[in-house]
Structure 1
Amino acid sequence: MENNIFELQYALDTFYFLVCGALVMWMAAGFAMLEAGLVRSKSTTEILTKNVALFAIACTAYLVVGYEIMYDGGMFLKDIALDGAKTAEGLTAAVLAESAEAKFDGGSVYSNASDFFFQVVFVATAMSIVSGAVAERMKLWSFLLFAVVMTAFIYPMEGSWTWGGKSVFGMYSLGDDFGFSDFAGSGIVHMAGAAAALSGVILLGARKGKYGKDGKITPIPGSNLPLATLGTFILWMGWFGFNGGSVLKLGDVANANSVAMVFLNTNAAAAGGVIVALIVARLMFGKADLTMALNGALAGLVAITAEPSTPTPLMATIIGGIGGLIVVFSIITLDKMKIDDPVGAISVHGVVGLWGLLAVPLTNDGASFFGQIMGAITIFVWVFVTSFIVWMVIKMIMGIRVSEEEEYEGVDIGECGMEAYPEFTGK
């Protein structure tokens, strides 16, 4: 009887993991649509190409080496090809043998393959954050080369210090020494992606015409706000898998209630972010700014990601609302600093990601502000410095920015040889 319970629990938790992973994978479509809508029409094909290619690269690089670095997962291609235990039959036999030898205590049990699938789509999410920030002026192949290093090494290393439980170069443990907590990745995924993006943007420079010599900022509106809105709703939906799957278990009353609360709080925070961002934009600009509302939704989602299980729904709304407030001022401030981020990714995922980490101790007694700050510093410094070095090496080898002529004509033609809207002559 106990063995039957174990098998049922195993099947249910594995299935839940896979469904949530599929929802997170769908966020790749959300990023693609959001970024395609917020760039100019002449840059649309290239940004879509980047999003498709980076997802494929992330999945492959993390399979070959990244998962091993982060979790000692042993999912190398050579293992899958040569080791029978990596097949479905081999895994089944190993699990059943283990369950027969040990008493099942009702803990989290699921297929290692489902764990890898869930983890790999998180890696792709972190890399997707970078693509929007460097849009419209970065060379496609330089970006894809960076994606290999980011997903195979930079992200897995900081992930090994946090979710992987390893010490930071043998010096200290974020979890054991400082109690650092990041439930689903406000810092580990989102702030890390933003740190990589910021380093690239600094080296890359702004789009031509964005900033005048007199300090004037020239807005460069996106080409398709309906597409950007669709992308935001896709991301909003995918986030239920992002946060909900991070519970890691479904098949008992306590965890089912935890999953339900995570879904509720994730949605509440997004709603709070939209409302506050829209109100702040109205007060500052005198108009209802759609792009700020969209970024407010994403900011609310990023803010609650570090701890969506312990807040009350009202507190989750407040945490998301503060994220919506922060993102408006952050976008304006970075613009004044001449940091050109076409989609606001650094503000949404980086600045608000930090807020998400700092909000954890407000509802989770097991976390401290000092521990959260130590975690944030460790993640940001590692990702920013290593990314800056990688960008610099790529710049010296093959360059990272397209020519001024290619930028003027549009990277669609220069990088991809085709336009997204060939019947539309406007640039």
Structure 2
Amino acid sequence: MENTILEMQFALDTFYFLMMGALVMWMAAGFSMLEAGMVRSKNTAEILTKNIGLFAIACTTYMVYGYDLMYGGGILLDGISGAGEKYSNASDFFFQVVFVATAMSIVSGAVAERMKLFSFFAFAVVFTGIIYPMEGAWTWAGEAVFGLYTLGDLGFADFAGSGIVHMAGAAAALAGVIVLGARKGKYNKDGSSNAIPGANMPLATLGTFILWMGWFGFNGGSVLAMASKESANAVAMVFLNTNAAAAGGVIAALLLVKLIWGKADLTMALNGALAGLVAITAGPDTPTALEATLIGGVGGILVVISISVLDKVFKIDDPVGAISVHGVVGLWGLLAVPLTNSSVSFTGQLAGAGTIFVWVFGTSLVLWLVLKAIMGVRISEEEEYEGADIAECGLEAYPEFTK
């Protein structure tokens, strides 16, 4: 009887892992739609190609080497083909690989509208195969940072990846944006900034809702179990807090832009939702629903301020606001954990955040510069004017509307 119960728990937890991984995989569609809506129509096909390409690259490079580097026992060595103690090892790999793809998707939007497609793919190979797995090994796998110290011993905790996934993706994106430079026409000679509106706000809104839904798999799956009373209750609480934080982010962002500009701003509302989701990802298991709403609300306020400051003060051209949503708010998510979890320290969170940022930003910056020297990273000014769709893909997303 006991063996039958254990087998049933194994089957249910494996199934739950797979379904949550499928939800996270669906976030790839969310990033694709969000980014396609936030760029100009002449760059739509190229950014969609980037998103499906990066997902395939992430799945392959993480299988070949990344998973082995992060946890040990890659697929090619049959390290995950068997059954673990609580669930199938293959289900664990599937859940982990869609997280890698999510981190890489963050980079895609920030470097949109001026980057060479295959330079981006080359970066994706190294990022998903080495850069991300290394910092993942130091955090979720618990290995020492270059043999010096373990982040767990310092009190670092990141439940589902505000820092490990989102801030890491933003750090890589920031390095790429610095190397690439701004889009033509974004900044005037006097330093003032010009708005470059996206082509399709309904598509961007659809993408945000898809991401919102997929986030339940992102955070809920990180409970790592479902087939017991305790784990089922934990999953329910994580779902509740994830939804509450997203709602708080939208409300706070809308109220702030109304206060500042006197009008609602859809793009800020969308980024407010994503900011709320990123903010709660580091610790969705311990807050109350109201606390989660407030954590998400702070994220919504931070993203509005950050997008404006990075654009107008630092001249960081990020077409979708990815660096602010996933980087600035990702840091806030890490720092919010000790507010509701007494076993986590602020110093540990800062140490972890600093380790992740320095590693990912530093290695990414070197990689971007190497790619720039070897194959170039930016399309020409003429190609940028014509659109990346024609220059990189040889087709247009909306050909009947441009003839």
Query: What is the TM-score of this pair, normalised by structure 1?
Result: 0.93
Q: Rg: which structure is higher?
A: 1
Give a deviation string over 1:297-324, Cα, whole Å, max 9, x none: 0000000000001000000000000000
What CA distance in whole angstroms lies between the structure 2 residues aligned with 1:228 and 1:349? 17
Q: For 1:153-192, what aligned pairs fall within 5 Å after superposition? A: 153-176=130-153, 178-192=154-168
Q: Which amino acid aligns with 2:94?
A: F
Q: Which amino acid aligns with 1:169?
A: F
> Quick one: which of 122, 131, 143 aligns to 1:145?
122
Percent same amino acid among aligned pairs?
75
Pair 1:252-2:231 in alignment: no
> For the Cα contact (< 8 Å) 2:63–2:74, is it kept in 1?
no
Q: Corresponding residue for 1:58?
A: 58
Q: Corresponding residue for 2:19?
A: 19
Q: Corresponding residue for 2:331?
A: 354
Q: Corresponding residue for 2:363?
A: 386
Q: Which amino acid aligns with 2:386?
A: E
> For the Cα contact (< 8 Å) 2:64–2:74, is it kept in 1?
no
> Quick one: which of 264, 287, 291 aligns to 1:288?
264
Q: Corresponding residue for 1:99?
A: none
Give a deviation string over 1:57-78, Cα, whole Å, max 9, x none: 00000000000000013322xx
Q: Which amino acid aligns with 1:350?
A: G
What CA distance in whole angstroms lies between the structure 2 residues aligned with 1:420 and 1:285? 33
What CA distance in whole angstroms lies between the structure 2 residues aligned with 1:47 and 1:327? 23
> For the Cα contact (< 8 Å) 2:14–2:87, is it kept in 1?
yes
Dislocated runs of 4+, deviation >4 Å: none
Q: For 1:8-407, what aligned pairs fall within 5 Å after superposition? A: 8-76=8-76, 79-80=77-78, 86=81, 91=82, 109-176=86-153, 178-336=154-312, 337-407=314-384
What CA distance in whole angstroms lies between the structure 2 residues aligned with 1:197 and 1:42? 22
What CA distance in whole angstroms lies between the structure 1 residues aligned with 2:192 and 2:315? 10
What CA distance in whole angstroms lies between the structure 2 residues aligned with 1:215 and 1:148? 35
Q: Secondary structure at the match of 1:166?
A: coil
Give a deviation string over 1:24-64, Cα, whole Å, max 9, x none: 00000000000000000000000000000000000000000
**CA offset at residue 285 of structure 1?**
1.3
**CA offset at residue 353 of structure 1?**
0.0
**CA offset at residue 284 of structure 1?**
1.1
Q: Secondary structure at the match of 1:9?
A: helix
In structure 2, stretches of 5+ residues that fail to align are none
Q: Which amino acid aligns with 1:280?
A: L
What CA distance in whole angstroms lies between the structure 1 residues aligned with 2:120 and 2:95? 24
Aligned-residue Cα RMSD (Å) equals: 1.1
Give a deviation string over 1:62-101, Cα, whole Å, max 9, x none: 000000000013322xx35xx9x83xxxx36xx6xxxxxx
Q: Corresponding residue for 2:6?
A: 6
What CA distance in whole angstroms lies between the structure 2 residues aligned with 1:159 and 1:74? 15
Give a deviation string over 1:178-199, Cα, whole Å, max 9, x none: 0100000000000000000000
What CA distance in whole angstroms lies between the structure 1 residues aligned with 2:245 and 2:66? 31
Give a deviation string over 1:134-158, Cα, whole Å, max 9, x none: 0000000000000000000000000
Query: What is the TM-score of this pair, normalised by structure 2?
Result: 0.98
Q: Which amino acid aligns with 1:288?
A: A
Aligned length, in residue pairs: 402
**CA offset at residue 283 of structure 1?**
1.0
Q: Secondary structure at the match of 2:75?
A: coil
